[in-house]
């Protein structure tokens, strides 16, 4: 059972966080285009000239989404550009005589000529297909060991320098765990998000052909379930907002950014926080910082395991070994504590300070968009907002709007403490 200090959040901050969430999200048209590209991935890899085609037509292997697109937590990952990162798993039984490097060579060869790709990049564990406004990381899952867990296997680790390895993995099982733990979302929250998304959503992906153009313009198109359906749970939205903040903060930091799946596991483990979206982020950030501080004090490291397949260590490349890993944990704990403190302080502030805080926490571009949306909403309510937003500062100059936050209940501004959990969060 989760234990935390009782606190209330301002509805004003929760409201503006919904704006941020929909600004960094995929539109319905983008989602359909993404689905279509996943269909093309299957077709392209199974074409007769593909070196992987014989391994994919065995009636057992699958091509499926993993990572944020599978858990419905994809966001704009770029700071200066609107880029989405998407991950795909390609299951095959890798021949015993194929090395890790050779297997990735075969995958790279099989992906050549993929429609609309601007550039193909070889990574340590995947091949990356770069499009305008998105890239798709394609990873081989070796299932030749026939592990007695649904769709579990090994991901191939093939660095330019250093030893190669087979990494136990089960993204299929992790996705199922997260989605079943989080659920489809609370009705009232999901409805509020749906309405806000209808007002704010922006389509960013450029259609590659007439089919994608038709998909982008369609109101509703049923496509094969290559990507799991979207979920609008508060836990998932809080995770998206945290990921966006980390993208902003780590842009100027030296230590390596922790993997998103680490926070996905934390978000699923915490569960639903009834006090609202701001509280959900506060608990996620604060409790994770508390765990990191405990590890630093004890001289230990986080060990987040995949609930569906414990050999799969979700944070196997973070934190680093030795003193560098200590710096990794100290940096993240500090970032999360600063986020929690900032949210707790602006939650009781006038609207002008909330908008300025959003600009600081989620980026100048998103802050500008939110300020514009706030202006439009108050204009439609009959308020004069001609000089509402002061460019490049996010300040709200209208006294009418500046007093809105006075009528709701405040969060204690300097009494937030990281949440304590009754169980060992690393012992899954």
73-112 pLDDT tens trace: 989 876 655 678 889 999 999 999 999 999 999 999 999 9
CB 87 within 8 A of CB 76: no
First to last CA, the chain: 15
Give me the mean pLDDT over the 65-79 stretch. 86
Angle at 262 between CA 259 and CA 266, to 5 degrees: 150
Separation of alpha carbons 204 and 197, rounded Å: 14
Residue 219 contacts by C-beta under 8 Å, 6 or more apart in sequence? none
Domains and CATH numbers, the chain: 2-25+184-204+224-421 (no CATH), 28-180 (3.30.460)
Which token pair is 65? 């989404």
Pair of tokens at residue 307:
């609930």
pLDDT class of 311 with cuts at 50, 70, 90:
very high
pLDDT of residue 200: 83
φ/ψ (deg, to 5) at 193: -65, -40
User: Among 69-73, 229-233, 310-314, which is the least confidently predicted range?
Assistant: 229-233
Which of 4-8, 142-146, 348-352 is the most confident on average? Answer: 142-146
Q: What three-state secondary structure class fits 174? A: helix
Among 161, 172, 187, which Cα is nearest to 139's?
172
Is the separation of the CB atoms in 156 and 204 below 8 Å? no
Task: Please report, for residues 193, 281, 406, 417, the alpha-carbon distance to residue 371 in angstroms, rounded to integers and kept in the order given.
Answer: 18, 21, 19, 30
Which residues, including other chains, have CB under 8 Å from residue 395's CB and lie 6 or more apart? 352, 355, 356, 389
Q: Look at 215 and 391; give whichever has higher pLDDT.
A: 215
**Secondary structure of 344-375 in the HEC alphabet?**
HHHCCCCHHHHHHHHHHHHCHHHHHHHHHHHH
pTM of the model: 0.83
Is the omega angle on the peptide bond into residue 87 within 30 degrees of 0, that is, cis? no
Q: Higher confidence at residue 77 or residue 214?
A: 77
CB 292 within 8 Å of CB 332: yes
**DSSP state, residue 83:** -
Residues 334-391: tens digit of each pLDDT: 999 999 999 999 998 888 899 999 999 999 989 999 999 888 876 655 554 434 444 3
Measured CA distances, 148 to 47, 60, 393 (Å): 30, 14, 56
8 Å CB contact between 419 and 286: yes
What is residue 414's DSSP assignment? S
φ/ψ bin of 35: left (φ > 0), alpha (ψ from -120 to 50), beta (otherwise): alpha
* pLDDT for residue 131 is more than 50: yes
Question: What stretch of H or E contains 138?
Answer: strand 134-142
């Amino acid at each position: 059972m989760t234990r935390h200090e009782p606190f209330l959040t301002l509805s004003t901050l929760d409201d503006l966080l919904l704006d941020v969430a929909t600004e960094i999200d995929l539109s319905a048209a983008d989602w359909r285009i993404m689905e279509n590209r996943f269909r093309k991935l299957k077709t392209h890899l199974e074409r007769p000239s593909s070196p992987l085609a014989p391994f994919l037509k065995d009636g057992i292997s699958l091509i499926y989404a993993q990572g944020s697109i599978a858990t419905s937590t994809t966001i704009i990952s770029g700071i200066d550009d609107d880029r989405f990162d998407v991950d795909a798993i390609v299951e095959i039984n890798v021949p015993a005589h194929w090395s890790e490097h050779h297997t990735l060579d075969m995958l790279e060869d099989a992906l050549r000529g993929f429609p609309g790709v601007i550039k193909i990049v070889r990574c340590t564990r995947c091949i990356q297909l770069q499009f305008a406004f998105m890239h798709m990381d394609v990873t081989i899952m070796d299932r030749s060991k026939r592990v007695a867990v649904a769709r579990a296997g090994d991901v191939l680790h093939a660095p330019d320098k250093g030893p190669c390895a087979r990494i136990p993995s089960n993204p299929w099982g992790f996705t199922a765990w997260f989605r079943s733990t989080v659920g489809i979302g609370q009705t009232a929250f999901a409805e509020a998000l749906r309405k806000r998304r209808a007002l704010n959503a922006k389509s960013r992906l450029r259609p590659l052909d007439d089919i994608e153009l038709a998909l982008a313009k369609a109101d509703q198109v049923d496509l094969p379930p290559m990507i799991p359906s979207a979920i609008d749970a508060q836990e998932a939205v809080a995770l998206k907002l945290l990921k966006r903040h980390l993208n902003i903060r780590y842009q100027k930091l030296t230590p390596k950014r922790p993997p998103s799946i680490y926070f996905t596991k934390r978000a699923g483990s915490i569960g639903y926080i009834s006090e609202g979206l701001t509280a959900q982020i506060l608990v996620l950030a604060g409790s994770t910082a508390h765990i990191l501080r405990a590890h630093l004090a004890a001289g230990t490291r986080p060990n987040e395991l995949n609930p569906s397949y414990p050999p799969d260590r979700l944070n196997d490349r973070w934190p680093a070994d030795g003193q560098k890993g200590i710096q990794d944990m100290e940096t993240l704990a500090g970032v999360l504590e600063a986020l929690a403190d900032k949210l707790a302080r602006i939650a009781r502030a006038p609207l002008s300070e909330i908008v300025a805080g959003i600009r600081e926490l989620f980026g100048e571009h998103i802050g500008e968009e939110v300020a514009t949306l706030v202006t439009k909403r108050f204009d439609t309510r009959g308020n004069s907002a001609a000089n509402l937003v002061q460019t490049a500062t996010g300040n709200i100059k209208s006294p009418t709007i500046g007093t809105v936050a006075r009528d709701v209940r405040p969060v204690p501004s300097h009494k937030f403490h990281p949440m304590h959990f009754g169980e060992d969060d690393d012992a899954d």
